[in-house]
Amino acid sequence: MASDISDICIIGTGHTRFGRLDDNLETLIVTASREALHEAGLSGDAIDAIFISHFNSGLVRDSFVSSLVLQTDPGLRFKPSTRVENACASGTAAIHAGMAAILAGQAKRVLVVGAEKMTSRSTPEVTEALAGAGYQNNPAEAALSFPGVFALAAQAYGERHGDPLPAMAQIASKNHMNAMANPLAHMRRPMTVADCATIGDRNPVVAPPLRLTDCSLVSDGAAALVLTSTDLAQGHEHVARFRAAVQVNDLLPMSLRDLAAFEGPARAIRRAYSEAGIGVDDLGFAEVHDCFTIAELMIYEAMGLAEAGNGAEAIASGRVLREGRTPVNLSGGLKAKGHPIGATGVSMHVMAFRQLTGNAGEIQAPNPRAGLVFNMGGVAVANYASILSSC
């Protein structure tokens, strides 16, 4: 029986392609879940509990999704299945719920699946749905879209530390180039730094100073994984172990926080390092929440890759590039892999698992050692940091 987080492992994963897909939400859920069970070598009978992450907010008519996953395998029928939602961090919130069930002795094996169907709605409709994750009790904040919210963060950062736009263009280009090697990514199209830095018809300003290339994609997709304890993981071909799993929530109103500093992410990541007994130099890769390029820039600083205000050094030095010491978002990140809200956090952990088990294909890190996953909801409001390693 698992006694702490380090006794919990991932033993199987599933992942649909992300993009503008014909599949409905049910098909996405079932496809990813079936692949995860197959990779783990398990039937539905072996699963004790299911947690499904799904944001929705009116994006689809399916408001009661927890039992859709039961159609994955006859053995899942009558198993407890619970929907988990925590904005863009819903996926990792579902993983935490699954780990809690194992640690409490309520389950031995847990299936976690995250899914979202977004492209059946127009861009304005999606923007409005996502805006509901902001603070609604202040008219000024409630009127903002999420590009508008992160534009404020970019403005605040620029006023304090200098123009972040050149580094943001480098981040966008890096993640698009990484996605070229990821067959699951939504946008597999190379974009140079000049492409991302140049404002024009193909790259308009969305919310000053954010350009279109600074924004993540509206995507459909699903990802799934199977959790169990280290003792039950023995004998499985592919296993990755959690070394830390930390959640830190901050205040929702932006007016009560410093938008130029990612305090919640920094606290979550520092605690994760401490619990895992490692430092930033021990990471072989990281998958982080680049919903907007300014977020990835500020996460570099929260990770300890650079001092406050010097996040640009992490990419200028090459450290976070594919061939660098600590490659970040080898998958293409939310920027190019895609950002189907409920699937995102689960997808990031699937990507980490595949890195650590040597099954990441063309995006494989040369020396994965340990990996960081950082997933957040809102503007650094719900912050989740995981450290994983191979077994």
**What Rg value do the Cα atoms of the chain yield, rounded?**
19
| Catalytic residue, candidates 9, 15, 54, 88 | 88
The enclosing H or E element of 301 equals helix 293-303
User: Residue 104 region, left (φ>0) first, then alpha (ψ -120 to 50), else beta?
Assistant: alpha
DSSP-derived 3-state class of residue 309: coil
Composition of the chain by helix, strand, coil, percent to 5:
40, 20, 40
Active site residue 196: no
Q: Which of 54, 236, 238, 339 is catalytic?
A: 339
Which residues sit opposite 49 in a β-bridge?
Answer: 110
Angle at 239 between CA 344 and CA 50, to 5 degrees: 50
Q: Is the CB of residue 179 less than 8 Å from the CB of residue 332?
A: yes
- Establish whether 9 is a catalytic residue: no
8 Å CB contact between 9 and 229: yes
Neighbours of 230 (CB within 10 A): 16
CB 17 within 8 A of CB 223: no
The residues carrying an active-site annotation are: 88, 339
